[in-house]
Structure 1
Amino acid sequence: MSKKGFYKLVILTLVALNIAIVAFFLTKLKPQDKASVKNIRSEILEILHLNKEQAATFNKLADEHKQQMRVLDAQQAKLLYPYFESLADSSIHIEKDSILHQIQLSERQKIELTHRHFEKIKKLLNEDQKPYFKIFTKKITQKLIEK
């Protein structure tokens, strides 16, 4: 096999592995995880004492947030694979500092996205519901930290 053919094979293999990693992250929720998400949402609706209209808006916001986080997770997966694969394969040359910086930016985007999501939830609340927001943030922040 020529060098050119070898490199084509390596590139195709790496592309296939990247696609597999992205697919894994996009489908990583198991059935029990989906049930857990439903339970968390129900718990949030109870904690915040949301009415039906607020609950519908909340669920829409939560779905949007979940989709945006999946996109960021997939982008991050594309960065993590070559970073760690370069340990096992010395022919893979990467800019480690650049990749680490991009991963940091991705984490920052996820944190900022979640913060904006919480702000949107807070705006949903009536004055009599606002005291429950502190309980919500404490509980959800704890779940995020344990994740």
Structure 2
Amino acid sequence: TFIFTDPHMTNGQVIVTRAGEKSITDPKELAGLTVGVQLETTADIAATKYQEDIEFEVLRYNEVIQTFSAMKVGHVDVIVADYAVAIDYVNKDPESYQLTEVMLTNEPIAITIRKEDTALRDELNEALETLRESGKLKELSMKWLGDDYTSNIDEELNVVE
């Protein structure tokens, strides 16, 4: 069993469309479309959740690269993927893909620790708070991830314990 630090960054599921096509501005616009996701990921979970209220088809692929390839050849209309993954594909191939402004989820990310290591968790939480307050956490996120993944952490979402 494991415990977690306080969330130190966020990532969420976003929608990617083909470059040059009408952008999706609301999840309801998924109705009637074929959505590509990586199997058994938070993208798959999010798409399945949205299917409760919106009728669309989900095609599941073993690897995220397969979802992007499927879009290129027309097997899927849109892709649901982690923002960090999606923005990388969009930046590397803007002729093929565009990112919509729709954020389907806002997922807090934390460090996983063995259950018995509560002292380590507490020390890490202190260090993360110091980095956050000093702006260093944001700076590192910008440097290594190309965006600020340390803001807008949804405090209503609880880290699983």
| Superposed pair shares fold, TM > 0.5 | no
TM-score tier by shorter-chain length is under 0.3
Name which one, 1 or 2, has greater alpha-carbon Rg: 1
Judging by fraction of residues, say which structure has more helix.
1
More strand by share: 2
Q: TM-score, normalised by structure 2?
A: 0.25
By relative contact order (CA 8 Å, sep 6+), the higher-ranking structure is 2
